[in-house]
Amino acid sequence: MYHHQVRFIITNSFSSPHQPSPAMAVHPPHPSSTKQQPFFHNETQPKENIFITTHPISFFGVPLVNLNTRISNLELSNPTMLASGIMDEDAGSIQRIIDLGAGAIVTKSIGLIPREGYPNPTIVELEYGLLNAMGLPNPGIDHYGKELQQITKSKTPIIGSIYGSNASEFVTLGKKMEEYGVKAIELNLSCPHAKGYGLEIGSDPNLMQEIIKGVKNSVSIPVFVKLSPNVTSITDLAQAAEKAGADAIVAINTVKAMKIDPEIRMPVLANKTGGYSGKAIKPIGVRCVYDIAKNVQIPIIGVGGITTASDTLEYIMAGACAVQIGTAFYSEGLEVFRTICTDLESWMKHHHVKTLTDLIGVAHQ
């Protein structure tokens, strides 16, 4: 039905996790690679050449470089986290991502009661990413708690993402998440198309601060705040969040966008507009992280279009201490966490960087 830019449409099915589809990866060449073999393959190189090095990355199984990172009081064995909203619907799929090497997991955004989400079509693949308007489908906090309790003893930290329409709903959800054993809360104040939720409340700094203070006063675990790029100044919101006591900023949620199919003369998504994720939004995310890092002291977690080790390094150098990965599953497959970590280790070894955290914010110097 869709011939040109729309490659496939995925429907909203809460009970069946999305299956990634294989596709060619496109990576930028590293700037230092002009005289040597490049570290990260580009469009003209076959994928087998993704990394060329003669340096060993471990000695008798002990890594020679250190990918550990820290967000507030959470210790991560590596900086790659599962972003909210993908492969995080039940204990089984979360366990699978843990086994695949993610440094931390963020759950689906969960509300007080079950919610079906928007009618189909809810996701469409465009040239450089995915456009979605899922509409916050989730089983509600009480049912999700049963899933969570099966996996929160894992060594890999689980972070509970929650959404609500006011401070009191966020407080109830935050307390329940803590009871279920999550190691931190992520406040979703940034979904671009959820009426009465997300961006509609997250773009009001006073309401945002009321929510953060309410949750901070009710739980003893760290509270992260996920912000939207669809505002005049994401930096102002990050500063307001820091003042209200947030322990970390997560930047960015998806970019408000739309796809019209000329053949049917209609928007493709049933909700008409949605949120764009994937490679296309990486430069937007990197810019947001860079600007936020200049203005806040709390840790920043980068999200938006991260597909490769090179993308991860961009975010880290802009000021992020960790990154979240979601849409990359569709182009890279579920091995993306391992691939990024292995490529990061190789890059660091080659550049004589022993500790990943030494690279945080270096682009500001």
Nearer residue to ligand RRO within complex by CB, 111 or 157? 111
Nearer residue to ligand RRO within complex by CB, 109 or 324? 109
Q: Please name the residue that has the structure tokens 């408000």.
A: 256
Nearer residue to ligand RRO within complex by CB, 148 or 191? 191
Contacts with 292 (C-beta within 8 Å, 6 or more apart), sequence order: 234, 235, 238, 249, 251, 300, 319
Greatest CA separation for the chain:
61
Residue 153's CB is within 10 A of a number of other CB atoms, namely 8
- For the chain, first and last CA: distance in Å? 50
User: From the CB of 222, what's the least distance to ligand RRO, in Å?
Assistant: 19
Considering 191, 288, 321, 341, which one is annotated as catalytic? 191
Residues in the chain: 365
Q: Please name the residue that has the structure tokens 């210790």.
A: 75
User: From the CB of 250, what's the least distance to ligand RRO, in Å?
Assistant: 10
Nearer residue to ligand RRO within complex by CB, 288 or 317? 288
| Site residues (vs ligand RRO, CB under 6 A) | 85, 109, 132-136, 188, 191-192, 198, 253-254, 275
Nearer residue to ligand RRO within complex by CB, 50 or 246? 246
Identify the CA nearest to 339 among candidates 104, 117, 50: 50
User: From the CB of 280, what's the least distance to ligand RRO, in Å?
Assistant: 13
Contacts with 230 (C-beta within 8 Å, 6 or more apart), sequence order: 190, 192, 199, 203, 255, 256
User: From the CB of 14, what's the least distance to ligand RRO, in Å?
Assistant: 10
User: From the CB of 132, what's the least distance to ligand RRO, in Å?
Assistant: 5
Beta strands, E only, the chain: 9-10, 58-59, 62-63, 69-71, 74-76, 80-82, 104-106, 123-126, 129-132, 158-162, 184-188, 223-227, 248-251, 255-258, 260-261, 266-267, 273-277, 300-303, 322-325
Nearer residue to ligand RRO within complex by CB, 152 or 254? 254
Nearer residue to ligand RRO within complex by CB, 88 or 247? 88
User: From the CB of 228, what's the least distance to ligand RRO, in Å?
Assistant: 9
What number of CA atoms fall less than 13 Å from residue 143's CA on the CB side?
A: 13
| Chain centroid, CA 155 distance in Å | 20
Q: Which residue of the chain is nearest ligand RRO when measured via CB?
A: 275
User: From the CB of 358, what's the least distance to ligand RRO, in Å?
Assistant: 32
Q: Give the torsion sign (CA, 277, 119, 21, 84).
A: positive
191 is catalytic: yes
| Chain centroid, CA 6 distance in Å | 23
Which of the residues are catalytic?
Answer: 191
